[in-house]
Chain A
Amino acid sequence: GAVVSQHPSRVICKSGTSVKIECRSLDFQATTMFWYRQFPKQSLMLMATSNEGSKATYEQGVEKDKFLINHASLTLSTLTVTSAHPEDSSFYICSAKAGGRADTQYFGPGTRLTVL
């Protein structure tokens, strides 16, 4: 149980284009989903928290107009990197948490984004 998927697993795009990453909870309903970014040999850096049906809460320093997050259903959240630039190249990981008193976040396999 508690499986989270991400799609695509890796993507290469040209500078200036937009890329959408999907995060799905496969066997539970995720009231809250989180989006992280990770650089090589570093810890996870939280970008934003999204609750189903409401606007995402972005961490300080994360541009909400550049990293668009939509959490339209209890099993799907999307992250769109708009007008991507080479410095946006990174490993993006989502996690999902059930509602109520559940605290455990279950992570997706990550998406490797390379912007040329």
Chain B
Amino acid sequence: GESVGLHLPTLSVQEGDNSIINCAYSNSASDYFIWYKQESGKGPQFIIDIRSNMDKRQGQRVTVLLNKTVKHLSLQIAATQPGDSAVYFCAEKGWGSTLGRLYFGRGTQLTVWP
């Protein structure tokens, strides 16, 4: 994931539109990637994950795309709703990591306008 920074990237979308949240990761040897949603004052909530042997995975209203060539991960949210407003974090796990430590990106603040 990207290094921790002081400025949180933001994305504003209108209700009903599709959202795309991007993440660049740093370790080409990472073999597992995961997206979390964090609402204000709460812990991160699992959304969807993907292993490095895949390039796309779909869930309910969400799709994760993995491009290992450019080390890029994206989260697509279809028909975005006000309840989707939150901070979204991507995280990666290095191949062979015995403890399963995740490296987190700095997060993206998604705001959905009615």
Contact = CB atoms under 8 A, between A and B. Distances in A.
A41 B8 CA distance: 7
Interface residues on B, range: 20 to 34
Contacts of B89: 43-44
Contacts, number: 63
Interface residues on A, range: 20 to 34
A66 B66 CA distance: 40
A34 B4 contact: no
Interface stretch (B12-20, B34-42, B56-64, B67-75): B34-42
A6 B43 contact: yes
B58 to A, nearest CB: 17
B102 A107 contact: no
Contact of B101 (A42, A46, A109): A46
Interface of A: 2, 4, 6, 32, 34, 41-46, 49, 51, 57, 91, 93, 95, 97, 102-110, 112
